[in-house]
Structure 1
Amino acid sequence: MDAVAWSIARSVYPVLAGVAVVGVCLNSLLLLTTIFTKTLRSTSNILIGCCAAFDVMHATGYFIQFPILFSDYYIDSFYCSIMQFVPALGRAGGAVCVLCIGVDRMLVLLMAMRYQHTKRLYFLLCHFFTILLFWAWTVYLMFAFWMKKQQICSMPAPFHGDSLGLWTYSVTGVNILSALVYFITWQVVKRKQISKHHKKIFTSIAIVMIVEVTGWFISSILIDLSKIYVVPERRPPFHYIACLFVNSGIAVKAIVYYTICAEYRHAIRSFLGMKKNRVVSSTTSRTSRADDPNQTSISLGAIKYAQNDNSTQTE
């Protein structure tokens, strides 16, 4: 890079690193809440926790670039690939994990009875196997196209030559498939009569998917445009600017779950030792009873019994 490019990079990097710090903190909170909350043990809850772990892995890749603030930070590609190996796997795993959550929610709505009678471990193994396959593809691209050179150690740096384009297109393809799955599931949600509780859970997950996938698309478009309109010596700073969008989408996941989904809001407050809102708790309790047909029938039975008992006493 030339002097102007280094100046832009040093101006943008602190903002990018700050967003990464927020992402690490909030996703770590979401991960720990999932681990230590016994009620968050469904397949989708476990996958959301895994996504948080992958996002933490991905965000740590930006801290490796801290020396660019003080020097022209070029490093041997071998050492850079080692340092960015885990962050690259985190980005790949996070993209596939979002898809797996969408597939899991779609199966719940389309095959409810069969889903309930299938072991949770079976679904989790299928999802983890899908993630492992994409990880294997990512590792292959890093090793098959590797070249020895001096480079700026950014997160995509382990992908040399054509492998960067192949990996970017692969992640983009996964994101497009995720958007399709969530769109189909949302159409099912609108047509089927499902409880408000489950509808809110799906809505929060869908918003997270939209924010993350939109951030990735914006970042990819900006990077592609920089290849056309920006000379090679000044492209890295524009890559930093582009990465702000995808990292911002990753950072706000926990905020979306906390704001929209009462289940995660109560779990996070409990994990942090915050007092529960009694009004909200009682409202949630009434809502859950109204959503549960068994609880509703029991309540109606109790009311009828009380009415009969009162009429008997009157006679």
Structure 2
Amino acid sequence: FQQRKKRSAMDAFAWKIARSVYPVLASVAVVGLCLNSILLLATICSKNLRSATNILIGFCAFFDIMHETGYLIQFPILFSDYYIDSFYCSIMQFLPAMGRAAGAVCVLCTGIDRTLCLLVSIAYKKMNKTYLLLCHLLSIGLFCGWTVYLMVAYWASKKQICSMPAPFHGDSLGLWSNSITVINIFSALLYFVTWQVVKSRGVSLYQKKIFKSIAVVMTVEVTGWFISSMLINLSKVYVVPERRPPFHYVACLFVNSGIAVKTLVYYWISSEYRRAIRNLLGLPVSNSISDSAIDESTNVSDM
């Protein structure tokens, strides 16, 4: 009886909405997978993208790829009431959830790296970049450890729809979501304060451009996450439980759209990334882009 009760958590109308929205969400996830794969490969293949910031951006792309795969796992909902055991669901959604957690901290670490470079440039140049990257990766690892703890400590055996947040049971989902929200708030404040300082100080045009590109990406991604979190929280108040899952699909469109367009933003704003991506795709590179990228890579090597 309990299993039947849990299986009927979503009514027929909710399933209809879920099956209508899911293809859109899955399509956005596929676009995000493709574009972030391009960004990751461009970072790996380009010799000009070897600064600590470039490497962190590559890691962010990798974590976003992990995150986006979680939405493709739900494909069977189009054909059946896709309820599975929570143990198997947690295994399937483990890497996507870790990607979301690591990606949030990676955005913050990227902001910290740029802030150090712009505001204390002399001290930054003297830093060991390998150790600095290891510190960033350690921060990411610690938050991933917190994520694993929440999955294990609150785990419960049940039948559930295998969505990306499904490994978080009980209060753990709220704790995890709120933790990421706090990280995003710190990221937003860090970028905002740094940008105000950058505008008031005599930093180079290149430094302003590279920070602007990262700040725009952060704004798009963090805004998407805030909108998604707000909609999910509102659904807890105004939407009956049996109709919340499809509402969550709609909410997730915003954060996934922000993740998907990151590569396009870098391509649009940064000639360095534009050249690397065009080289990766075998597209012609104009002389103006090539010369600009060479000049920028020289600046990057000094940072």
Superposition TM-score, scaled by structure 1 size? 0.90
Change in 2 beyond 3 A, CA 1:75/1:288: closer
Q: Deviations over 1:246-271 (max 9, x none)?
A: 00000000000000011100111111
Asked whether 1:143 is paired with 2:168, we answer no
Q: Which runs of 4+ in 1 moved over 3 A?
A: 279-282, 285-289
Task: Give the match's secondary structure for 2:210.
Answer: helix
From 80, 83, 95, the equivalent of 1:86 is 95
Distance (whole Å) between structure 2 residues aligned to residue 250 and residue 40 of structure 1:
20
1:151, distance to aligned residue in structure 2 (A) = 0.2
Q: Which has the higher contact order (CA 8 A, sep 6+)?
A: 2
From 236, 240, 250, the equivalent of 1:231 is 240
1:232, distance to aligned residue in structure 2 (A) = 0.3
Asked whether 1:31 is paired with 2:44, we answer no
Find the counterpart in structure 2 of residue 64 from structure 1: 73
1:119, distance to aligned residue in structure 2 (A) = 1.0
Q: CA RMSD in A?
A: 1.8
Change in 2 beyond 3 A, CA 1:175/1:193: same
Find the counterpart in structure 2 of residue 299 from structure 1: none
From 253, 269, 279, the equivalent of 1:270 is 279
Counterpart amino acid of 1:22?
Answer: V
Superposition TM-score, scaled by structure 2 size? 0.93
Percentage identity across paired residues of the two chains: 69
Find the counterpart in structure 2 of residue 104 from structure 1: 113
Q: What is the aligned residue count? A: 292
Counterpart amino acid of 1:247?
Answer: N
Asked whether 1:128 is paired with 2:137, we answer yes
Following superposition of structure 1 onto structure 2, how do residues 166-177 of structure 1 map, counting pairs within 5 Å?
166-177=175-186
From 8, 22, 28, the equivalent of 2:17 is 8
1:288, distance to aligned residue in structure 2 (A) = 5.7
Q: Check conservation: 1:76, 1:150, Cα contact below 8 A.
A: yes
Distance (whole Å) between structure 2 residues aligned to residue 3 and residue 134 of structure 1:
38
Distance (whole Å) between structure 2 residues aligned to residue 164 and residue 286 of structure 1:
46
Find the counterpart in structure 2 of residue 298 from structure 1: none
Task: Give the match's secondary structure for 2:84.
Answer: strand
Change in 2 beyond 3 A, CA 1:131/1:286: closer
1:279, distance to aligned residue in structure 2 (A) = 3.6
Q: Check conservation: 1:219, 1:242, Cα contact below 8 A.
A: yes
Q: Check conservation: 2:275, 2:293, Cα contact below 8 A.
A: no
Q: Check conservation: 1:109, 1:188, Cα contact below 8 A.
A: no
Query: Which blocks of at least 5 consecutive residues in structure 2 are unaligned?
Result: 1-9
Distance (whole Å) between structure 2 residues aligned to residue 178 and residue 93 of structure 1:
14
Q: Check conservation: 2:272, 2:296, Cα contact below 8 A.
A: no
1:287, distance to aligned residue in structure 2 (A) = 6.8
Distance (whole Å) between structure 2 residues aligned to residue 156 and residue 211 of structure 1:
21
Q: Check conservation: 2:275, 2:289, Cα contact below 8 A.
A: no
Q: Please identify, of 144-153 and 110-119, the stretch whose mean Cα deviation from structure 2 is larger.
A: 110-119
